[in-house]
Structure 1
Amino acid sequence: MSDASLPEGLHMRPATLADVEQAVCVMNSSEIEYCGEPETTENLLRRTWSQAARKPEENARVIVTPEDEIVASVDTRNKRHIKIDVELDVLPAYRGQVELPLMRWVEERAQAHIALAPEDAQVLLGSWAYQHDTQRQQLWKDLGFELVRYFWTMKRELTQAPEQPQLAPGIRLRTFKELQKEAPQGEERLARALFAAHEEAFSDHWGYIPNIYEEWRQYHLGKEADLSLFFLAMDGEEIVAYARCADEGQQGGWVYTLGVRRAWRRQGQALALLHHAFGEFYQRGTRTIRLGVDAQSLTGATRLYECAGMQVERRSAKFEKVLRPGRNMRTLSLNQA
């Protein structure tokens, strides 16, 4: 793409792993403005861009000054070529000047995904904005996106040791790391069982699109993942629920994924996992715990998190744009699951 539409002196180029530090600074600028503190870490972005399916040279662009200082970035992630999620970040001094060229690149990049999507499938772009970021929300509307959903970030501050987990009869809590050490020859079987549990648990979440096992494993169970914070609720040898957590240092502890298989719901599995995770973070000296949730969760997750003592810290709006009409292949209601 030509740089003619960019302010004088700025240039667009592919992102690389060497850009992680600068790219995170750009992302943090909006997080500090709207959240009061940075949220994205270098470790998180490096782990993301290290995935084979997320190569920044192919899926991300940065806008730089003549000194190669990054002032804006856009990153894309596709789910089976039918949904392309967009993360757009711009330093405050450059807002309103560089977004349109970046989004033109995104739509050009999306054409490759449209060609690979099932012939009858609807293909979408998706992105988001903080609730109070009216400038970004207006940008999405001007580009033809529609507001489709709200999401919350919820938080709990641990001022004292949290509640002890109350496990259902016959359920034991283990970590992936423990099971991995006990039976290293069975690690692949364990990983596939966990993947199957995840796909079942999330198949009735709004917007669900089936994952690809190899991509899922590389990100969730790769060498940089702390598998001692990947908690599994076991009924004998069967995984019935799990919580994937991470200690993000100054950003606190995160419960990135919490899932319960259908047959084991309404038995306190999720609450027990949350309390167990809180306890582990507390023992490690981490006092702030966060997670993200669909504000209109089909499975009632918001009520669970409120019962666990979590409160809404901030709200964001989800936007989507249809690039190609067709059959919507995502979960939109429990009747589809």
Structure 2
Amino acid sequence: MLTDPHHPDLRAAPPGYALRRPSLADLPKVAALFAACSMDRIGAITIREGDLRARWRDVGDLNDVLLVEHPEADPPLVAYAEFHADVDPWTDELDLHVEGRVHPAWTGHGLASFLHDRAEDRARRAARELKRDHAILRTAIADGDDRARRFFAGRGYEPVRHLLEMRLDLHADPPAPAWPEGVTCRSFEPGRDDEAAWKAHQLAFADVPTHLPMSFDEFLEDRIKRDPAFDPELLLLAEHNDEVVGLAVCRAGTETAAEDGWVRDLGVVPHWRRQGIGMALLREAIGAFRERGLTGVALEVDDVTMEGAIALYRRAGMRIVRRTDVMEAVLRVERD
């Protein structure tokens, strides 16, 4: 893992600018930069300080997060970049995920191009370390951010996936869940249900092409321990004769609205599908959010699961509120 933002393999900052790694004390400034950029581009704030804190915690190593500062700016932070490389377990491709922001008052100074060149440098270095002849550069573009889409398209990126955020306003109590005969629903009990929830989760998503199998410990860490807002009452288990046949992993609060409930995962094990369990779980979750005084429900679905999932969510009254395009480019790398 590259640890030095001034490593000789990577290009230096443009004249007059300084590069440095962040610390947790920089979170408010970075959140303010994200807010200024998203308001300028799409007229809404999509990522807040708490979301950045959770993301940095997930990344773990901030050495691949870069702050760009200029002494004449107030505050000095004018641009941000985040790179992380990993090998896709399905395709064995080396992927470099690219995230960047340039303050709207500092566009036109070549900072976006510099950060993208830096990302390519980072990808080349990772490819050489792993003895690869290419890397996949990947980024996500919010609907309405035409400037970013043109920027990346001009550098050879093409859309490969689409993510849809769907939402339901909770103005009234939802319809009661209609459970198949013999199927009941209850909340997760830590310690008692850990393994059963993990097994059901892996079965429910095993046939989704983008699903990454998780070990038992990885499931507990990623879905339960790592989330400071985890509430066992909002992890719902559908059961039949003590067998977990479906589950909904939910939380109070989303990236953009603390007053919304978020459905992170909703799945039914294959041999129990097409019996209404998915809709019943969704309505159970909506009812739990309503009881907590939340004003909306949100979730995200990608084009891998679009046809069946979107139909289910629309039948529950949800609507599409935001689309994000995942774009990729292939970077060829000459080996040393």
Please report the TM-score for the alignment, with normalisation by the length of structure 1: 0.79
Structure 2 residue identity aligned to 1:106: A
Q: Would you say 1:279 and 2:287 are equivalent positions?
A: yes
Q: Deviations over 1:31-55 (max 9, x none)?
A: 444554423232332223223xx12
Q: Would you say 1:102 and 2:107 are equivalent positions?
A: no
Match of 1:133 among 130, 134, 145: 145
Segment of structure 1 superposing worse, 253-262 or 107-116 = 107-116
Indicate the SS of the match to 2:327.
strand
Q: Would you say 1:156 and 2:168 are equivalent positions?
A: yes
Work out the CA distance in 2 between the residues paired with 1:70 and 1:26.
Answer: 8
Identity of aligned residues (%): 28
Q: Which runs of 5+ in 1 are unaligned?
A: 326-337
Segment of structure 1 superposing worse, 296-305 or 313-322 = 296-305
Structure 2 residue identity aligned to 1:284: R
Structure 2 counterparts to residues 1-337 of structure 1, below 5 A: 1=6, 6=14, 8-33=15-40, 36-51=43-58, 54-66=59-71, 69-78=76-85, 80=87, 82-96=94-108, 97-111=110-124, 113-114=126-127, 123-176=135-188, 179-180=189-190, 184=191, 186=192, 190-211=193-214, 214-222=217-225, 224-227=228-231, 228-248=233-253, 250=258, 252-295=260-303, 297=305, 300-323=308-331
1:332 maps to: none
Alpha carbons 1:245, 1:254 under 8 Å: kept: yes
Q: Tell me: CA distance 1:112–1:165, structure 2 relative to 1, closer, same or farther (3 Å).
A: farther
Work out the CA distance in 1 between the residues paired with 2:268 and 2:95.
Answer: 25
Alpha carbons 1:65, 1:71 under 8 Å: kept: yes
Work out the CA distance in 2 between the residues paired with 1:324 and 1:194.
Answer: 42
Question: How far has the Cα of 1:101 moved from its partner?
Answer: 2.3
Q: Tell me: CA distance 1:165–1:59, structure 2 relative to 1, closer, same or farther (3 Å).
A: farther
Please report the TM-score for the alignment, with normalisation by the length of structure 2: 0.79
Highest Rg: 1 or 2?
A: 2
Alpha carbons 2:19, 2:68 under 8 Å: kept: yes
Aligned residues: 312
Alignment RMSD, CA only?
3.1
Indicate the SS of the match to 2:67.
strand
Indicate the SS of the match to 2:53.
helix
Q: Which runs of 5+ in 2 are unaligned?
A: 1-5, 89-93
Q: Deviations over 1:112-162 (max 9, x none)?
A: 654677x89985222121232111011111222111122211111111111
Structure 1 residue identity aligned to 2:266: L
Q: Tell me: CA distance 1:131–1:44, structure 2 relative to 1, closer, same or farther (3 Å).
A: closer
Question: How far has the Cα of 1:298 moved from its partner?
Answer: 5.6
Question: How far has the Cα of 1:319 moved from its partner?
Answer: 0.4
Indicate the SS of the match to 2:249.
strand
Structure 2 residue identity aligned to 1:102: L
